[in-house]
């Protein structure tokens, strides 16, 4: 089969992946379980994430780049404020079952909806969610029609505000026709997979009772749940998510979107006293990190406590630990397509994925190789 090599982000062309059936990842060391969010202070700014794996010069360049992006976007936002613009609303063909709603945010360079995205939506549907599909692009008619089969509502909007802008507008429109749900899932297309069953993961979230539950916890910018898959359960939690989305303001700055959207959501929950928990909490992930993994990240991570003093993004820097040792079901798309931290352990990533999922993931990567403004 053809696959995309791990250095795609560095500018190489697609390479041939030789092999027959790839082995499945090893079984989970223990059942999925929720761990409450760390009670840390504000933490280092998100721009500092990954300091230990880069040279000082490269790090300073990153900080300067983020600073310029924030200031430039702030000036543009002040002069020409952005606002979500709905371009089309259409019903889906899946019947509403009530109670559980998933807001799925999509974007691709040419608007195409990949087979992998279609499968992700179908899996959420299989797990009991009424899926509201919202695209920040313009899907072609064929794809727009196909996605109706697994969704109760389809929305096409202008590409402003990233995923949080999309979720905000989707929530507004969904609540015009659907009752307020007992469960509200936020999800997007920023991950490759899943290549493990999602039923045990959703069951573990639901076993947690009421609160806000995610997959991974990041400590950059303060402990928070990463927003590619978040489930709010219970009236207070769902209401808090809806309030946060309604107050979200679009920005041209991706950094500001993460600060006010993703990190701000967890802060709102913590301030409200509502439980926040992750299935792959940062401390739990660290229990699976060995000395060889630490050294592969750089000399400053040789000490056992280094990843606590200098926390990294688990979905990037510790992706192999998550997948190989903890039965994590996804790989971040930008890790493979861009490798933003120039990590050296991406070789053979396809060997960790079953053949069927390899095909879907590689196809999706080819579709996404255009510039991504999110």
79-93, 111-125, 221-235: which range is least confident on average? Answer: 79-93
Range among 23-32, 247-256, 283-292 rated most confident: 283-292
Phi, psi of 358 (to 5 degrees): -55, -50
Output 74 or 214, whichever has higher pLDDT: 214
Burial class of residue 352, CB neighbours in 10 A (0-12, 13-18, 19+): buried
3-state secondary structure of 165: helix
Please state whether the predicted TM-score (pTM) of the whole model is above 0.75: yes
DSSP-assigned states of every residue in 56-124: HHHHHHHHHHHHHHHHHHHHHHHHS-----EEEEEE-SSPP-SSEEEEEEE--TT----HHHHHHHHHH
Model pLDDT, residue 2: 33
Beta partners for residue 186, in sequence order: 103, 230
Nearest to 8 by CA among 347, 330, 352: 347
Alpha helices in 130-247, H assignment, sequence order: 141-146, 162-177, 199-207, 235-247
Distance CA 164, CA 168 (A): 6
Assess contact for 101 and 185: CB atoms under 8 A: yes
Section 301-327 average pLDDT: 95
Model pLDDT, residue 17: 30
Tens of pLDDT, residues 98-111: 999 999 999 999 99
Is pLDDT above 90 for 287?
Answer: yes
Distance CA 129, CA 100 (A): 5
Output 316 or 10, whichever has higher pLDDT: 316
Assess contact for 355 and 22: CB atoms under 8 A: yes
């Amino acid at each position: 089969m053809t696959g995309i090599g791990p250095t795609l982000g560095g500018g190489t062309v697609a390479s041939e992946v030789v092999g027959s059936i790839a082995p499945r990842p090893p079984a989970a060391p223990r059942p999925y379980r929720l761990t409450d969010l760390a009670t840390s202070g504000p933490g280092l700014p998100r721009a500092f994430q990954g300091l230990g794996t880069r040279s000082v010069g490269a790090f300073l360049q990153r900080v300067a780049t983020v600073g310029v992006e924030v200031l430039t976007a702030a000036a543009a936002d002040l002069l020409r404020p952005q606002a979500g613009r709905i371009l089309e609303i259409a019903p889906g063909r899946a019947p509403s079952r009530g109670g559980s709603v998933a807001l799925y945010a999509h974007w691709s360079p040419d608007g195409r909806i990949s087979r992998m995205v279609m499968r992700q939506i179908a899996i959420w549907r299989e797990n009991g969610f009424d899926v509201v599909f919202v695209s920040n692009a313009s899907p072609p008619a064929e794809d727009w029609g196909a996605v109706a089969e697994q969704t109760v509502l389809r929305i096409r909007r202008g590409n402003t505000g990233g995923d949080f802008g999309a979720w905000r507008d989707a929530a507004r429109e969904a609540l015009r026709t659907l009752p307020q749900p007992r469960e509200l899932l936020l999800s997007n297309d920023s991950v490759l997979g899943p290549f493990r069953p999602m039923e045990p993961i959703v069951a573990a979230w639901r076993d947690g009772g009421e609160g806000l539950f995610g997959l991974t916890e990041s400590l950059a910018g303060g402990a928070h749940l990463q927003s590619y898959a978040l489930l709010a359960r219970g009236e207070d939690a769902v209401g808090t998510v809806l309030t946060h989305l309604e107050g979200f303001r679009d920005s041209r700055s991706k950094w500001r979107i993460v600060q006010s959207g993703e990190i701000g959501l967890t802060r709102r929950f913590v301030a409200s006293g509502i439980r926040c928990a992750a299935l792959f909490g940062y401390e739990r992930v660290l229990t699976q990190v060995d000395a060889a993994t630490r050294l592969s990240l750089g000399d400053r991570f040789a000490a056992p406590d280094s990843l606590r003093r200098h926390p990294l993004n688990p979905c990037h820097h510790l992706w192999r630990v998550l997948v190989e040792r903890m039965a994590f079901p996804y790989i971040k798309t930008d890790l493979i397509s861009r490798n933003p931290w120039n990590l050296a352990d991406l070789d053979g990533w396809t060997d960790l994925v079953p053949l069927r999922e390899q095909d879907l993931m590689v196809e999706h990567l080819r579709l996404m190789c255009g510039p991504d403004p999110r």
